[in-house]
Amino acid sequence: MSSRIYYTKPSITDLEVEYATDAARNGWGDRCYEYIARFEEAFKKHLGVRYAIATSSCTGALHMGMAALGIGTGDEVIMADTNWIASAAPITYLGAKPVFVDILPDSWCLDPDKVEAAITPKTKAILAVHLYGNLCEMDRLLAIGAKYGIPVIEDAAEAIGSQYKGKRAGSMGAFGSFSFHGTKTMTTGEGGMFVTNDADLYETVLTLSNHGRARGQTKQFWPDMVGFKYKMSNVQAAIGCAQMERIDTLIARKREIYSQYRTLIADIASASMNPEPAGVINGAWMPTVVFSSESKITRDMLQREFAAANIDARVFFWPLSSLSMFQPCRGNVTAWSIPERAINLPSYHDISSDDLSRVSAVLHHAVSLAKAS
């Protein structure tokens, strides 16, 4: 059998190992935050924002940011039904309710018309999740937010490298959040980042991130509020510093893989991939294929075919409202339909052209089977 093709692996070089080793050997005492500060500085420079706080996860960044915005019991946050639960979980931590609306059929992100229709007096935020590197229609969402006085939050966990009209994903909303999980375009193993251009919001989140201890507080071990423990470790940040030195290369390789896939399956009329409309650069974190409903190609068929070819492909996110802890929203027709005929494709940085062709061959074989059935 051919060697296994994994859907994702991080890109780790001697530079990451060197920095992590230095942090493990020497990053203590007076140097315990050295790599963290370096990482935050490099990331905010790359993103073009004023403030950045390295966190233990994107979920933690979202949790603190939402808490700093005052979201709490009885409030509502509008978000797309198609997402991983990590985007919705922090809303529930605060006692608020995620309100799931349908997605656009091309970008698989929030439908702005559905967002505006879902606004109530309880709405306290709009959560724009840039799915698989695809970008939400930020101009429209920001205009809706301004019209109703509601902040727009960007979950850019999957959108490192994506740009909207010259602005990087995560830099446009009230705050942005990022993930550096081992599956992402850049990684620290686990980890995340909170970013904002709002000085007051930054100070509040900075305090929350350190057990509620404000940086201006002169009393030692004196918290000014009940906070959280979502700090990134110095060793993780050291890996992040190395990744930031390679960020342009990491993004370019992801986009190259995405481009190769588009070429390889261009002849499959029933398949569409991550869009890149005018004014948008897709960071291409997770190349994804969605088949038309007329194609007769299903998620289960694709999983069987990829498994038979010893290829690890991921399913498209289930609609959150289909999960047992939430109320079903079957009116979100697109969010419920697409996962039944879609698949995420392997896209780790070191994947070979031959392996990309193997993946493509499985898709073509699935099309042949569907036509013959």
pLDDT digits (tens, 9 = 90+) for 255-275: 999 999 999 999 999 999 999
CA distance 102 to 333: 7
Q: Of 193, 228, 245, which closes a domain?
A: 245
Expressed as residue numbers, the domain containing 45 is 14-245
Query: Does residue 6 fall inside a structural domain?
Result: no
Q: Is the pLDDT of residue 149 over 70?
A: yes
Residues 239 and 254 grouped into a single domain: no
Q: Is the pLDDT of residue 1 over 70?
A: no
Residue type, 170: G
Residues 56 and 77 grouped into a single domain: yes
Query: Does residue 4 fall inside a structural domain?
Result: no
Residues 260 and 272 grouped into a single domain: yes
Whether this model's pTM surpasses 0.85: yes
Q: Of 218, 245, 272, which closes a domain?
A: 245
Query: Does residue 137 fall inside a structural domain?
Result: yes
pLDDT 10s digits, 101-114: 999 999 999 999 99
Report how far apart, in Å, the C-alpha atoms of 355 and of each of 12, 201, 259, 350 are: 20, 46, 14, 10
DSSP letter at 316 equals P
Residues 227 and 268 grouped into a single domain: no
Residues 78 and 214 grouped into a single domain: yes
* Helices 234-245/34-47 angle, 10° precision: 40
Q: Of 211, 228, 245, which closes a domain?
A: 245
Give the CATH number for residue 203: 3.40.640.10
Per-residue confidence at 333, pLDDT binned at 50, 70, 90? very high
Residues 61 and 197 grouped into a single domain: yes
Residues 239 and 253 grouped into a single domain: no
pLDDT given at position 223: 94
Q: Is the pLDDT of residue 297 over 80?
A: yes
pLDDT 10s digits, 10-45: 999 999 999 999 999 999 999 999 999 999 999 999
Specify the range with the lowest mean pLDDT, choosing from 123-137, 149-163, 204-218, 347-361.
204-218
Residues 121 and 220 grouped into a single domain: yes
Total number of domains in the chain: 2
Report how far apart, in Å, the C-alpha atoms of 294 and of each of 13, 47, 210, 269, 272 are: 45, 41, 53, 11, 13
What are the E-state strand segments in 143-184?
A: 152-155, 163-164, 167-168, 175-179
**Cα 15 from chain centroid (whole Å):** 25
Q: Phi/psi of residue 43, each to 5°?
A: -70, -45
